[in-house]
Amino acid sequence: MERGSPKPAVERDGIVVGRQDYGESDRIVRVLTPGEGRVSLLARAARAAHSKWSGLDLGTRARIRSRRGRTDLETLVEVEVEDARVSLRSSLARLGLAAYGCEVCGALAREGYPEPRLYGLLETLLLLLDAADADPGDALRAGLEAKALTFAGVAPVLDRCVACGGAPEAEMCFAPGMGGLVHLRCQPSEGTRRYVTAAHAAALEAARRAPLRDLLDVTLPPGPPDVLHEAIAAHLGRALPSRAVLEALLQ
Ligand SMILES: [Zn+2]
């Protein structure tokens, strides 16, 4: 290639999973792609009025052209919005779950490695939420969390004790740092743990295995609502801010 000639553009499908202001008027847009996992792109002048990047909302799927520049960050060249998820934006509960799904799948995806299963999971969730005419039950959120952990290679253990391998008893603990259920007598002396019933754990395992579309109307048996988010936070080393927003929306 001749010196000074522009570098070839890269074209890929991606779902917007994060946006962050950058510099005085630019924005960094994070997208989840099937072939390269999480990709960060520089959207120049994205915060200006009438920006050509204004359609890149969280959850939007687009055909994206970008160009590699002098830095590691690719610069957006052209965007063709393929699905703006217009319907789900009419419900705060659905929008909150969509935003959480974007953050979960985006955070668990690697950069520069294929992540077709996390991409497929997020796309399925967003299609379901966009097509739904009622707000989903809490099993959909649990299914999203459990599948995302599984596709990231850290499946939560919900059908036995992670310490001794024994069958669940009626009252169990969930230890996020150990990645799953433990008997009360096997629970760690340190670290977070949550008390869960065997029935709640079995419902979480069923949600992990079921197709997302089968979970739309399903409600979990009583139990702490945040054990799988705590497993995600333990894996990432940080909690996801959109989880707190979702929690506030559902109260
Ligand atoms: Zn045990």
* Mean pLDDT in residue range 178-186: 94
Ligand 1 center to 223 CA (angstroms)? 20
Does 233 share its domain with 138? yes
Does 177 share its domain with 72? no
Ligand 1 center to 104 CA (angstroms)? 29
- Domain total for the chain? 2
CATH code for the domain of 137: 1.20.1440.120
Ligand 1 center to 202 CA (angstroms)? 16
CATH code for the domain of 37: 2.40.50.140
Does 77 share its domain with 107? no
Is 132 inside a domain boundary?
A: yes
Containing structural domain, residue 29:
9-83
Q: Quick check: 48 pLDDT over 50?
A: yes
Is 3 inside a domain boundary?
A: no
Percent of the chain with pLDDT strictly greater than 70: 97
DSSP string over 56-76: --TT-EEEEEEEE-SSSSEEE
Q: Quick check: 1 pLDDT over 50?
A: no
Ligand 1 center to 197 CA (angstroms)? 14
* Mean pLDDT in residue range 10-31: 95
Please, are residues 161 and 181 in contact by the beta-carbon 8 Å criterion?
A: yes
Q: Quick check: 249 pLDDT over 90?
A: no
Ligand 1 center to 145 CA (angstroms)? 24
b/e map 88-125, b = 16+ CB within 10 Å: bbebebbbbbbbbbbbbbbbbbeeeeebebbbebbbbb
Confidence label for 122 from pLDDT (cuts 50, 70 and 90): very high
Ligand 1 center to 191 CA (angstroms)? 16
Ligand 1 center to 188 CA (angstroms)? 10
* Mean pLDDT in residue range 101-118: 97
Ligand 1 center to 227 CA (angstroms)? 18
Confidence label for 6 from pLDDT (cuts 50, 70 and 90): low
Ligand 1 center to 199 CA (angstroms)? 17
Q: Quick check: 197 pLDDT over 90?
A: yes
* Mean pLDDT in residue range 133-149: 96
Q: What is the mean pLDDT of the chain?
A: 93
pLDDT at position 3 is 57
Does 152 share its domain with 236? yes
Q: Quick check: 248 pLDDT over 60?
A: yes
Does 72 share its domain with 169? no
